[in-house]
Amino acid sequence: MNNTSCPRVSFDFTGRFLPPVFILVLIIGLVANGWGLKSLLQNWRKLGNVNVFVLNLGLADILYLLTLPFLVAYYLNKSTWIFGDVFCKMTRFCFNLNLYGSIGFLTCISVYRYLAIVHPMKVLGRITVTHSVAISVMVWVSVAVQSLPDMFYTKTYRNKPGKCYDTTHKTYVEDYLKYSLGRTLTGFCIPLLITLGCYGHVIVVLCSKNTTDKVLKQKCLKLLFILILLFSVCYIPFHLLKNLNLWSRALDKKKICHEWSNGVYIAHQISRGLVCLNSALNPLVYLHGNNDITAQLRQLLQRARQAVMRQSITPSQIPLV
């Protein structure tokens, strides 16, 4: 630890790393979510209770993906924001809506799966699409209300024109750290515990009953794997490193420096790239829950394979008449 001079932080890493990630996520996310939402809307009458949450999951992804071109322009322009303070806050607000909305809807899916498998007789016919719609509205309102305080923190700063902070300026970093810790607890930790509890109990029930449908067991295990993938790759590293980076900035403001400050900053920027991947990975839930989409994907892969085989046939291989 050094109290006199702090190690230089590699701020230029963000401009090199995030734009390619954002562009990749934008392309894959728009294609995958657009395809998934189109299929869901075409089969609206077939939608089950869980698929209402899947639909909202896709809408949350699309909302965030539409902001990525502006962030790409921002980082490619040497972190110079030209779209104004209000739009900067709206962009960061959309990120929070996507992040915590996705976590909320994934948690709802987990609870519904738990009820359908562990307590099927108690919920049979009692949970309707109307209930799912009402719960979805509650999730949106709850996420919006909890994300609203972030809008009141400084995102642009008069002494540093062109900046659009994903958190806030260092002047207010201590207060923002407290808000971030509370947001992590309510928006991430509690839903994570609920999800783990639900699927932990589901796996125990499925493994203890020999009469359980094997197809149902495979679907539950696949969905559990998808959720573990999302939380492990996207959500856990982001929340851990975001708060650690904020704490490092708070110490730096007090002239208390650590050699790991630069490493934490770089790791946090990598976690920002990973967390936006949730918009590209969430369509895995579509593939898991919608048989029509799976069938369409197989057809596309089969057509692509046939096209490649036709292209691989050379003129010399064509029989002469």
Inter-residue contact 206 to 212 (CB < 8 Å): yes
Q: Is 312 contained in some domain?
A: no
Alpha helix positions (H), the chain: 12-42, 49-65, 68-76, 85-118, 120-123, 129-147, 173-184, 190-208, 214-230, 236-253, 261-275, 278-281, 283-289, 291-312
| pLDDT at position 308 over 70 | no
Which CATH number is 45's domain given? 1.20.1070.10
Neighbouring C-beta atoms of residue 152, cutoff 10 Å: 11
| pLDDT at position 49 over 60 | yes
Residue span of the structural domain in which 201 resides: 12-301
Neighbouring C-beta atoms of residue 192, cutoff 10 Å: 18
Res 220: pLDDT = 74
Q: pLDDT for 238-287, tens place per residue?
A: 999 999 999 999 988 888 877 788 889 999 999 999 999 998 888 877 66
DSSP per-residue string spanning 189-214: IHHHHHHHHHHHHHHHHHHH-TTS-H
Q: pLDDT for 173-224, tens place per residue?
A: 999 999 999 999 999 999 999 998 988 888 888 777 765 567 667 777 777 7
Res 79: pLDDT = 83
Q: Is 176 contained in some domain?
A: yes
Integer distance in angstroms from the first to the last C-alpha of the chain? 83
Most confident region among 86-95, 254-263, 311-320 by mean pLDDT: 86-95
Q: Name the nearest CA neighbour of 25 among 192, 228, 234.
A: 234
| pLDDT at position 110 over 50 | yes
- 268-285: string of b/e by CB count within 10 Å (b at 16+)? bbbbbbbbbbbbbbbbbb
Tokens of 211: 């009469």
**Is 0.75 surpassed by the pTM of this model?**
yes
Q: Is 1 contained in some domain?
A: no
Q: Once rounded to an integer, what is the mean pLDDT over residues 32-37?
A: 82
* Total number of domains constituting the chain: 1
Q: Is 125 contained in some domain?
A: yes
- Mean pLDDT score of the chain: 83
- Sign of the CA dihedral with 194 first, then 198, 203, and 204 last: positive
Q: Is 313 exposed, middle or buried (0-12, 13-18, 19+ CB in 10 A)?
A: exposed
Q: Is 311 contained in some domain?
A: no
Q: CA distances (Å), 258 to each of 3, 12, 231, 272, in order?
A: 9, 20, 29, 22
223 vs 319, residue with greater confidence: 223
Q: Is 315 contained in some domain?
A: no
Q: Is 281 contained in some domain?
A: yes
Q: Is 178 contained in some domain?
A: yes
